[in-house]
Structure 1
């Protein structure tokens, strides 16, 4: 079989085959794809190995076994695929469309950004970056946002993602299994100074998901420290 196209939809990588089928990979949190010379043996947690005609191989490696791999001729049968919203970087997602799609949501800003039915492709790390760029507290409820704040959120989303794409294209090259995160402003940097004001970056953990923000640049009500596992570091 021959691959005739490679594309992306949200967090799904799509490799189209010449027989009409599509190999779909959703790497989730820890999945990595390696393209290169064959390795001498299969590694633990190698979920998929494709040997290519040019002598290279494509390996999907997942240390947490959270990712999903599908071979299908009907993408609508893949869970959550059909219900995705527009791509976050789609030019058709104008500010007005963004406002309209945002209006029905009542939850916290970060949760809305990572809801793939709202817009597709934003995960935990970039949601943190977008909220920081917009100067918005990630746990604020959507109805509390003013029209100007919604515009800031939209502008931040476009800028953060476009800059990240450009950075990754220039730095990653063919090392597609390498995760480059050092250019991020706040995510994963608890205790380090905020690039904008110097305040120590705060971290809140809920259900094993960490949120990073600056309590000076992103003012908001303090997060309740419930007995459900929420924890807070660095004075948040």
Structure 2
């Protein structure tokens, strides 16, 4: 599932490569992922052009010169390509935009779980859940003190809180493991057992992990002027590294699967707190 580092890398690449470029044609291949009628994409996108690119939580926002936005939530398996049109097309390619200059912008989704919207820029709150969810992790308004005030409202295991979009947006399963490892906090620790210093450290580590991972995510998917996103996170230090040595202490990484979620952590660096 794309999280902040992948989406920030894609956003930055699009900003460099697509700003000002015109959409010459639009092909809808698999309509099931479209939350705005596919006909609106087909009929109104050609002739429009990209103005800017933003990210909000796990949404990528492609702003158009017509004051509209293509809002994409890739969910688990949504992937983007910006590539030579002759390149092999993934089987579950849902949307293809022919872009001025000869490249194609594609959105593919193996499980067809993603969601694509085309709507006025001032109507983003009409997207289900948009207004109810918490702030983006990288929102400057989410200061350390605001983080503390917000997290105090939640109980339960700290990893479950980090991946809860009602608390904060943009953190998913993979990077929550990395953040907790960086902060030396066990993922199953109840929030109520963590001190204020622990929670402040967690805030700082969350930002540090995103800053560290974003250029590495970009290097994994971008080659010069081509984007071909396959989820390759071989730079991660603990997530899905079960049995491998912890890069900090050498203890084998533990891996627990529950509710279709893999949690990876180091029992030495991230010990359980006493009951």
TM-score bracket, shorter-length normalisation: 0.7 to 0.9
Q: Give the unaligned 5+ runs of structure 2.
A: 1-47
Match of 1:233 in 2: none
Q: Does 1:135 align with 2:135?
A: no
Match of 1:59 in 2: 106
- SS of the equivalent of 1:120 reads coil
Which of structures 1 and 2 has the larger relative contact order (alpha carbons within 8 angstroms, sep 6+)? 2
Match of 1:97 in 2: 146
Q: Give the unaligned 5+ runs of structure 1.
A: 223-236
What is the Cα deviation at residue 53 of structure 1?
Answer: 2.0
- SS of the equivalent of 1:150 reads helix
Match of 1:198 in 2: 250
Change (3 A) 1:204 1:65: same
- SS of the equivalent of 1:61 reads strand
- SS of the equivalent of 1:166 reads helix
Measured in 2, the distance between the counterparts of 1:136 and 1:182 equals 22
Give a deviation string over 1:131-164, Cα, whole Å, max 9, x none: 1111111011111111121122112111111111
Change (3 A) 1:41 1:178: closer
- For normalisation by structure 2, the TM-score amounts to 0.75
What is the Cα deviation at residue 119 of structure 1?
Answer: 1.4
Q: Which runs of 4+ in 1 moved over 4 A?
A: none
Match of 1:71 in 2: 118
Match of 2:14 in 1: none
Q: Counting helix residues as a fraction of each chain, which structure ranks higher?
A: 2
Range with bigger deviation, 61-70 or 184-193: 61-70
Q: Tell me which of 93, 96, 105 is aligned to 1:49.
A: 96
What are the residue-to-residue correspondences of 1:1-236 with 2, within 5 Å? 1-39=48-86, 43-73=90-120, 74-170=123-219, 172-173=221-222, 174-220=226-272
Measured in 2, the distance between the counterparts of 1:41 and 1:181 equals 23
Give a deviation string over 1:191-215, Cα, whole Å, max 9, x none: 1001111111111111111111111
Match of 1:234 in 2: none
Measured in 2, the distance between the counterparts of 1:130 and 1:35 equals 30
The CA RMSD over aligned residues, in Å, is 1.9
What is the Cα deviation at residue 80 of structure 1?
Answer: 1.9
Measured in 2, the distance between the counterparts of 1:221 and 1:187 equals 21
What is the Cα deviation at residue 176 of structure 1?
Answer: 4.5
- For normalisation by structure 1, the TM-score amounts to 0.87
Change (3 A) 1:221 1:45: farther
Given that 1:88 and 1:121 are in contact with CA atoms closer than 8 Å, whether structure 2 keeps it comes out as yes
Measured in 2, the distance between the counterparts of 1:11 and 1:150 equals 23
Measured in 1, the distance between the counterparts of 2:149 and 2:83 equals 44
